[in-house]
Amino acid sequence: MSSIKPLRKAVFPVAGLGTRFLPATKSMPKEMLTVVDKPLIQYAVEEALEAGIEQIIFVTGRGKGALEDHFDISYELEATMKARGKSLALIENIRQTPGSPVYVRQQEPLGLGHAVWCAREIVGDEPFAVLLPDELMVGTPGFLAQMVEAYHRVGGNLIGALEVAPEETDKYGIITPGAVDGPLTEVLEVIEKPKQGTAKSNLMTPGRYILQPEVMKILDNPVKGAGGEIQLTDAMAQLIGKQPFHGYTFAGDRYDCGDKAGFIQANLALALAREDIGPSVRAFAQTLLS
């Protein structure tokens, strides 16, 4: 029997303040921003379910109630739509089974590492995925499904690994790469936001992770890292050399929707790809650009 433990749980840290997207995010969670007609969080949850995840865990904070409502029954809306003979297809499938998702609170936004640690009691002694919903990943199969397929072969810890322009490496967690085997790259080191000119590669870690539960023990004794925040990167870096640790390069497209330009690009790309609205959006975009 394989010693690789199955992956059943996924953590969605959604307690950040979203300051780069103000004023939109003053009273609305960043993860509820919509790309065409679906909030970012729904794209991420669908990606996780497609990858076989059974338990969804949201790490939320104050002012994030809209997220909880989105995955719940909306009685008034459903009753009114039913009475008017309208299809509920677009809202019925969002609801999760009773008892899921699980919500835990991060009282203060102390950083991604701290947010993930807030889910430790629910994660328990199992491997788990982490998905950052403001990173929209579009591909077939989805990013996490591709990672899970690789996880079943190599086990241990897997993190996304995508190339960025060399001048952008100081914005991200950057991998020091070892041996490369197709989409898998051995991770020798991972450094959060290295100073300009010091990065060992231009392979950044976008917001997809499969981690072993030992990382929670490391986060029990957190250290403040880049930006004065408790960084997930710093904690998982301590597992390198002790457990298998690979980067996975996604065959698909990434949109950084925590950033205004990335968010607009995602809306444009996904709108153009749609059968219903694509033609009219394309015609309008062409008039703007001509």
Q: Does 162 bind ligand UTP (CB under 6 A)?
A: no
* CA atoms of 48 and 9, how far apart (whole Å): 9
Helix, strand, coil % over all residues of the chain, rounded to 5: 35, 25, 40
Closest CB to ligand UTP: residue number: 16
φ and ψ of 132, to 5 deg: -95, 110
The binder of ligand UTP chosen from 15, 158, 210, 215 (CB under 6 A): 15
x/- string (CB under 6 A) for ligand UTP, residues 25-44?
-----x--------------
131, 207 contact by CB (below 8 A): yes
Q: Does 211 bind ligand UTP (CB under 6 A)?
A: no
- Within a 10 A sphere around the Cβ of 170, how many other Cβ atoms? 15
- Map residue 125 onto helix, strand or coil: coil
φ and ψ of 19, to 5 deg: -65, -25
Q: How many residues does the chain have?
A: 290
Number of residues that bind ligand UTP (CB under 6 A): 22
- Within a 10 A sphere around the Cβ of 109, how many other Cβ atoms? 17
The binder of ligand UTP chosen from 18, 160, 194, 206 (CB under 6 A): 18
Q: Does 13 bind ligand UTP (CB under 6 A)?
A: yes
**Which residue type sits at 257?**
C
In the complex, the smallest distance separating the C-beta of residue 39 from ligand UTP, rounded to whole angstroms, is: 13
The binder of ligand UTP chosen from 52, 63, 109, 252 (CB under 6 A): 109
x/- string (CB under 6 A) for ligand UTP, residues 64-103?
----------------------------------------
- Within a 10 A sphere around the Cβ of 254, how many other Cβ atoms? 21
The binder of ligand UTP chosen from 51, 115, 138, 216 (CB under 6 A): 115
- What phi-psi label fits residue 263: left (phi over 0), alpha (psi between -120 and 50 degrees) or beta? alpha
Q: Does 234 bind ligand UTP (CB under 6 A)?
A: no
Q: Does 59 bind ligand UTP (CB under 6 A)?
A: yes
In the complex, the smallest distance separating the C-beta of residue 133 from ligand UTP, rounded to whole angstroms, is: 6
Q: Does 20 bind ligand UTP (CB under 6 A)?
A: yes
In the complex, the smallest distance separating the C-beta of residue 153 from ligand UTP, rounded to whole angstroms, is: 28
161, 202 contact by CB (below 8 A): no
Q: Residues interacting with ligand UTP, by CB under 6 A? A: 13-21, 30, 59, 106, 109-112, 114-115, 132-134, 258
